[in-house]
Amino acid sequence: MNEPIDTGTTVLMVGNPNVGKSALFNRLTGANAVVSNYPGTTVDYTEGTLIEAHRTCTIIDVPGTYSLTPRDAAEEVAVRLLGEYPGAVVLLVLDATRIERGLYLALEVIERGVPCIIALNMTDAAHDKHISVDAAEMERVLGIPVIETTAISGEGVKQLAGMIRNAKAADISAISGRLNGDGAAEEMVALRSGCSGCGVCGR
């Protein structure tokens, strides 16, 4: 069998602590996961390989952080990793049950202009708590793909893996324009097909 092609893409998994980043990481990378020590600190990050559609990319499980203004060593590592991989795709992992604080960090990352994709994790727990999150509307407002996942059961993980290559950078002023019902921004979005969120799924 042919060797999978290395796309050379690096994916950084960024999110608040305890949102299931590592669970999702293990789902995405399977047995290929390796652990490495980050030099100079006591905090680890984990690196693994995702093979999807015969192509590979490197995934880094970044320590959880609440903001890009670091408050402790683990958060410092998270912020530094973002700086060290300027061309990397950022996989934002959000806890559907605590969506607001996740969005705070997500917007901080989006503001940096890096290509992003959102995994709306813990959808099972949200369902149990009767919390519903409108992923399609989030996709429309943010303009980046939003995939609902449940890392512990593996739901949505395959779809997420397939969508990573569709990650895209969003414009923060366009987001606020869409939130405030700005006509010009709406029109721009309407030019794209489907849900007008990311324009890649054809929905």
Partner 1 sequence: MRKKLSELAFGETGVVTEILASGRELNCMGLRKGKGLKMVTKQPIKGPVVVLIGEVEIAMGIRMAEQVTVETG
CB of 118 to partner 1, least distance (A): 17
Pick one of 60, 78, 105, 161: the residue that binds partner 1 (CB under 8 A): 105
CB of 138 to partner 1, least distance (A): 17
CB of 98 to partner 1, least distance (A): 5
Q: Is 180 in the site for partner 1 (CB under 8 A)?
A: no
- Pick out residues in 84-103 that bind partner 1 (CB under 8 A): 97-98, 100-101
Comparing CA positions, the residue from 203, 132, 121, 126 lying closest to residue 166 is 203
**The token pair that represents 193 in the structure block:** 């097909």
Q: 51 vs 73, which CB is nearer to partner 1?
A: 73
Q: 36 vs 104, which CB is nearer to partner 1?
A: 104
Burial 135-152 (b: 16+ CB within 10 A, else e): beebbbbbbbbbbbbbbe
CA gap 87, 20 in Å, rounded: 24
CA atoms within 13 A on the CB side of 67: 4
CB of 14 to partner 1, least distance (A): 13
DSSP 8-state class, residue 167: -
Q: Is 24 in the site for partner 1 (CB under 8 A)?
A: no
CA gap 17, 7 in Å, rounded: 29
Residues of this chain that bind partner 1 (CB under 8 A): 66-67, 69, 71, 97-98, 100-101, 104-105, 129, 131
